[in-house]
C-alpha cells in the first residue's frame, strides 16, 4: 500500500509539473524580449491583442518611436503607439498580426494563488518563474499618479529582464504583466483591467488624460477653529502655474484645500481621486484662506503634453 501511495503521489507531482510546463510553452508563444536603453535585452513584452504588444514603460526611460523585439520567430522593430509612465504601460504595434494574443483572467485573485511568470532572453530562450500571490488589495495610485485597478503583489523580487513579462494563473490565463518599477521589495503585477484601459486610451489618442489644476501642494493640519467640520488635514497650495486652471479660478498660494467636489482632499492621492473624471468640468473647491472658510469653482484642466510624465 505504501508503494502504491508513493507512486500516486509521484504521478500527481509529475502531472502538476507537466501542466506548468504546458502553460509556460503556451505563454512563451505570446511573449517577446524587448530591448530598451542601449539596445540591451532589458525587458519582455506580451501580445495583448492581435497586432498589439504591451510592456513595461520604465524599460525604455523615454519611450522611443520604435524598439527592437525578439519574437518567437523573428526579430523586428516595433512602432510605438504610446507610453504611460504613471501606470508603467507602453504599447507597440506588431508587424505580424497573426501572433496569438493572451487571454486575460477574469477570476478573483487571492493571496496564495499560484503565479507563473514567463519571459524570453535576448537570444529568444524561454525563462519561467513560479511563485504565489503575496498580497491583493483594491485600487491604488503609483507615485506618478497612475491609477492601478488592483494591487497584486508577488512573493518574490523580479529577476533582471522580466519587467513586462506576462503573469498567469494556474489555468494559464493572464493576470497582467510584472514590473520591478513600483516596489523595492516585491514584484508588482499591472493587472489586466489597467492594461486594457490604458491600451484603449493610447490607441484612441496616443496618451492617457489626467486631471490638472496647475498647483503644487503639501498636506498640513487644519486648525479646528478655522474648519467648519472635523477634518484633521488639508492641502496647502505651495506653488502655482500662472496660466493654470487654479490661477484662472482665483486660487492663491497659501490657500488650504479642504474638499474638492464632494470628496475630502487631505492628501495628494485624495485630490487626484476627486479630480479624476472631471476634466473640462467645473467643480467646487472648499478651502481656508487667511483662517476663514471660502469656496471657489475651478474648471479642471488636462495635463499639458509637455508636462505629462512619459
Q: What are phi and psi of 230, to 5 degrees?
A: -80, 75
DSSP β-bridge partners for residue 153: 135, 188
Q: HSE on the CB side for 304, CA within 13 Å?
A: 8
| 14-23, 36-45, 109-118: range with lowest mean pLDDT | 36-45
Q: How far is CA 215 from CA 24, 45, 245, 247, in A?
A: 47, 36, 9, 8
Reduced 3-state DSSP string for 92-106: EECCCCCCCCCCECC
Percent with pLDDT over 90 in the chain: 57
**Quick one: which of 154, 157, 152 has its CA closest to 190?**
152
Say if residue 307's pLDDT is above 60: no
Give the mean model confidence (pLDDT) for residues 98-127: 92
pLDDT band at 9 (very low <50, low <70, confident <90, very high): confident
Vertex 192 angle, CA 43 and 172, to 5°: 80
How many residues would you count in the chain? 310
Q: Which residues contact 127 (CB under 8 A, 6 or more apart)?
A: 118, 119, 120, 121, 159, 161, 162
Q: Is the pLDDT of residue 195 over 90?
A: yes
| CB proximity list for 28: less than 8 A, separation 6 or greater | 72, 118, 120, 126
**What's the rounded Cα separation, in Å, for the pair 163 and 57?**
9
Q: Which residue has the higher pLDDT, 7 or 126?
A: 126
Across 89-112, average pLDDT: 90
**Alpha carbons 270 and 283: distance in angstroms, whole number:** 15
Q: How confident is the model at residue 226 (pLDDT cuts 50, 70, 90)?
A: very low
Angle in degrees, CA 82, 87, 89, rounded to 5: 40
**What is the arithmetic mean of pLDDT over 95-103?**
86
When pLDDT is cut at 50, 70 and 90, the band that residue 286 belongs to is very high
Angle at 155 between CA 154 and CA 157, to 5 degrees: 80
Position 188 scores a pLDDT of 97
Question: Residue 291's pLDDT is what?
Answer: 87
How many secondary structure helices (H) and strands (E) does the chain include?
4, 22
Mean per-residue pLDDT of the chain: 87
Mean pLDDT along residues 253-278: 89
Helix, strand or coil for residue 117? strand
Asked if residues 30 and 99 have their Cβ atoms less than 8 Å apart, the reply is yes
Cα–Cα dist 157/300, whole Å: 39
Alpha carbon distance 56, 32 (integer Å): 12
Region class of 198: left (phi > 0), else alpha (psi between -120 and 50), else beta: alpha
3-state secondary structure of 194: helix
pLDDT of residue 285 exceeding 90: yes
- Confidence tier at 295 by pLDDT (50, 70, 90): very high
Which pTM was predicted? 0.80
Residue 165 has a pLDDT of 96
The CA angle 248-249-252, to the nearest 5 degrees, is 90
State yes or no: pLDDT of 40 exceeds 90. Answer: no
Is 57 a residue whose pLDDT tops 60?
yes
Amino acid at each position: 500500500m505504501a508503494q502504491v501511495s508513493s507512486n500516486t503521489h509521484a504521478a500527481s507531482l509529475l502531472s502538476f509539473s507537466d501542466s506548468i510546463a504546458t502553460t509556460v510553452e503556451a505563454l512563451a508563444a505570446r511573449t517577446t524580449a524587448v530591448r530598451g536603453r542601449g539596445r540591451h535585452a532589458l525587458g519582455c513584452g506580451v501580445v495583448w491583442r492581435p497586432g498589439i504588444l504591451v510592456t513595461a514603460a520604465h524599460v525604455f526611460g523615454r519611450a522611443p518611436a520604435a524598439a527592437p523585439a525578439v519574437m518567437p520567430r523573428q526579430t523586428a522593430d516595433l512602432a510605438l503607439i504610446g507610453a504611460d509612465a504613471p501606470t508603467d504601460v507602453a504599447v507597440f504595434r506588431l508587424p505580424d498580426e497573426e501572433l496569438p494574443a493572451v487571454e486575460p483572467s477574469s477570476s478573483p485573485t487571492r493571496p496564495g494563488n499560484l503565479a507563473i511568470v514567463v519571459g524570453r532572453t535576448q537570444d529568444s530562450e524561454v525563462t519561467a518563474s513560479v511563485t504565489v500571490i503575496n498580497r491583493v488589495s483594491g485600487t491604488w495610485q503609483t507615485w506618478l499618479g497612475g491609477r492601478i485597478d488592483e494591487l497584486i503583489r508577488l512573493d518574490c523580487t523580479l529577476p533582471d529582464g522580466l519587467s513586462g513579462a506576462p503573469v498567469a494563473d494556474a489555468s494559464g490565463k493572464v493576470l497582467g504583466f510584472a514590473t520591478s518599477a513600483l516596489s523595492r521589495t516585491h514584484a508588482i503585477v499591472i493587472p489586466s483591467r489597467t492594461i486594457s484601459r490604458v491600451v484603449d486610451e493610447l490607441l484612441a489618442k496616443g496618451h492617457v488624460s489626467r486631471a490638472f489644476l496647475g498647483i503644487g501642494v503639501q498636506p498640513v493640519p487644519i486648525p479646528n477653529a478655522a474648519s467648519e467640520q472635523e477634518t484633521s488635514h488639508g492641502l496647502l497650495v505651495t506653488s502655482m502655474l500662472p496660466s493654470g486652471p487654479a490661477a484662472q479660478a482665483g486660487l492663491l498660494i497659501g490657500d488650504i484645500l479642504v474638499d474638492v467636489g464632494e470628496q475630502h482632499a487631505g492628501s495628494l492621492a485624495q485630490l487626484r481621486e476627486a479630480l479624476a473624471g472631471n476634466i473640462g468640468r467645473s467643480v467646487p473647491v472648499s478651502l481656508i484662506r487667511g483662517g476663514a472658510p471660502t469656496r471657489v469653482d475651478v474648471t479642471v484642466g488636462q495635463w499639458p503634453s509637455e508636462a505629462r510624465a512619459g
